[in-house]
Amino acid sequence: MNFKVYRDDWGIPHLRAEGADGLAHAQGWNAAVDRAWQIEVERNRFQGTSASFLGASAAGWDRFARQARLDDTARRCYEALDDATAAWVRHYVAGVNAGMAEGARRAPQFAEVGLEPRPWEPWVPLGIWLGTHVLFAGFPTKIWREEVARALGDAAVELFSAEGADGSGSNGWLVGAGGTAHGAPLIAGDPHRPVEDPGVYQQIRLACDEFDVVG
């Protein structure tokens, strides 16, 4: 895949490719080069294998990830994708695999814990998304409600509910091109994430013949 990478004065990557598939490859490559340790840790976390190099303190999460079948869910989600989306994901994974060796050389943590990065399977990005966001979804609430019902009965569930009538969730908003000073639309959201280092999000510009976005 041919693509171009430019980093501005703040180190923000600007990626350019001819099409969306090439851009997916470029974005995967960039993620691996910039954040190899982070994304490889997250891969092991959703597969329930992080204690093998992070130690016993990670075993509780690994047990949860296996009991929740995050890896199996990611595989089944990938298999359910339409052909075009599955191909796009494969291009991203190919980019990660192309950049991982360079990224691992830049990250001293790999040598410190003796971790050798493995080639990604096509469903790994979906698994990382699941592992990163499972505790931000309704999953914990469903477990909690199940425990309340089991211990106190179905009638007690609402007594312990912290949700309004319409449930809860993250907030997002969209401003159309006619409402912005620069004439381009804006989309934003508030994902309620804790402070992390590094954070799960990376500022980046993605440009191809079809679109040119930054966020």
Q: Please indicate, yes or no, if residue 151 is contained in any of the structural domains.
A: no
| Residue 197 resides in a domain | no
- pLDDT of residue 150 exceeding 80, the answer is yes
pLDDT confidence bin for 170, thresholds 50/70/90: low
Average pLDDT over residues 151-178: 74
Q: Find the CATH number of the domain harbouring 32.
A: 1.10.439.10
Average pLDDT of the chain to the nearest whole number: 89
pLDDT-derived band at 165, boundaries 50, 70, 90: very low
DSSP 105-172: HH-THHHHHTPPP-PPPTTHHHHHHHHHHGGGSSHHHHHHHHHHHHHH-GGGGGGG---BTTB---EE
pLDDT band at 211 (very low <50, low <70, confident <90, very high): very high
pTM of the model as a whole: 0.80
pLDDT at 167: 47
Average pLDDT (190-215) is 84
In terms of average pLDDT, the best of 12-16, 162-166, 168-172 is 12-16
User: Could you tell me which residues are beta bridge partners of residue 194?
Assistant: none
Q: Count the domains in the chain.
A: 1
- Is residue 123 domain-resident? yes
Domain contains 85: yes
Catalytic residues: 170
**Alpha helix locations (H) across 13-135?**
20-47, 51-54, 59-67, 70-79, 83-106, 109-113, 124-133
The domain of 118 spans 3-133+202-214
Categorise residue 58: left if φ over 0, alpha if ψ from -120 to 50, beta otherwise. Answer: alpha
187 is a domain residue? no
